[in-house]
């Protein structure tokens, strides 16, 4: 291994260690409360070193969110080749989201929070940020399934597939955010959050059936 390749790997390893530390800080203190000083202390690096790798706290948070998106994508089942129609596949996809929300609540919050970031504080442009949110996330698969459903005539065709797909994704994230915040309230009235999510997804899918 050459010197240049070794330095590149060392730099990537340190970057990942910063993201590891940031996850712990963000998940314990909250995304708004956590500071670069907190992340520097957790990663055992100087704050100046953090800025060599990330332009801002928002950039670090985006890196955490991208990691969360990759985890979610890794859990998505291979449903593209199945013979089920698009509605059935969307239900399976939704079930994966519910499982992800239960197993990785901190990562879910990072995905929810990323949409509120000020892109002007990021090293990404607005278009690059849109790519992360709307192309790297499973919303791309949702769009493909909606288009499949329109062709199968199981999903309504009077609304553009892109609008349906992004509406489904937005409503799903909104419901996840709601049940995450209100989880304690639902437990008090003996209502399972998974049951509520299942019902909300079924209601949404009913609205797009042809």
Mean pLDDT of the chain: 82
Model confidence pLDDT, tens digit, residues 46-103: 999 999 999 889 899 989 988 998 898 888 766 656 688 888 888 888 888 878 888 8
**Three-state SS letters, 143-203:** HHHHHHHHHHCCECCCCCHHHHHHHHHHHHHHHHHHHHHCHHHHHHCCCCHHHHHHHHHHH
**Per-residue model confidence (pLDDT) at position 209:** 87
pLDDT at 185 over 60: no
Q: What's the predicted TM-score (pTM) here?
A: 0.78
Helix axes 193-208 and 86-103, enclosed angle (nearest 10): 150
Residue at token pair 């499949």: 148
Question: With the CA atoms of 180, 184, 186 and 189 taken in that order, what torsion angle do they form, in degrees rounded to the nearest 10?
Answer: 180
**Per-residue model confidence (pLDDT) at position 135:** 64
Residue at token pair 């712990």: 24
Mean pLDDT of 134-159: 86
In degrees and rounded to multiples of 5, residue 92 shows phi and psi of -65, -40
Helix axes 161-181 and 105-114, enclosed angle (nearest 10): 130
Q: What's the distance, CA 158 to chain centroid?
A: 29
Using alpha carbons only, give the angle 10, 14, 17 rounded to the nearest 5 degrees.
140
pLDDT at 150 over 80: yes
Confidence of residue 199 (pLDDT cuts 50, 70, 90): confident
**Per-residue model confidence (pLDDT) at position 134:** 64
Residue at token pair 């059936």: 209
Measured from the Cβ of residue 18, the count of other Cβ atoms closer than 10 Å reads: 23
If one compares 28 and 109, the residue with the highest pLDDT of the two is 28
């Amino acid at each position: 291994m050459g010197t240049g390749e070794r330095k590149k790997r060392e730099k990537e390893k340190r970057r990942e260690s910063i993201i590891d530390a940031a996850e712990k800080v963000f998940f314990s203190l909250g995304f708004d409360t956590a500071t670069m000083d907190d992340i520097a202390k957790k990663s055992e690096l100087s704050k100046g070193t953090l800025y060599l790798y990330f332009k801002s706290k928002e950039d670090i948070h985006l890196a955490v969110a991208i990691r969360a998106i990759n985890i979610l994508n890794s859990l998505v089942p291979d449903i593209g080749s199945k013979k089920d129609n698009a509605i059935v596949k969307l239900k399976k996809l939704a079930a994966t989201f519910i499982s992800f929300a239960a197993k990785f609540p901190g990562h879910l919050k990072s995905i929810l929070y990323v949409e509120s970031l000020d892109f002007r504080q990021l090293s990404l442009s607005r278009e690059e940020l849109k790519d992360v949110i709307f192309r790297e996330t499973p919303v791309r698969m949702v769009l493909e399934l909606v288009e499949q459903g329109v062709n199968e005539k199981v999903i309504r065709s009077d609304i553009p597939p892109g609008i349906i797909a992004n509406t489904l994704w937005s409503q799903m994230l909104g419901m996840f955010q709601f049940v995450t915040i209100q989880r304690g309230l639902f437990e008090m009235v003996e209502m399972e959050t998974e049951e509520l999510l299942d019902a909300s997804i079924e209601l949404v899918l009913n609205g797009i059936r042809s």
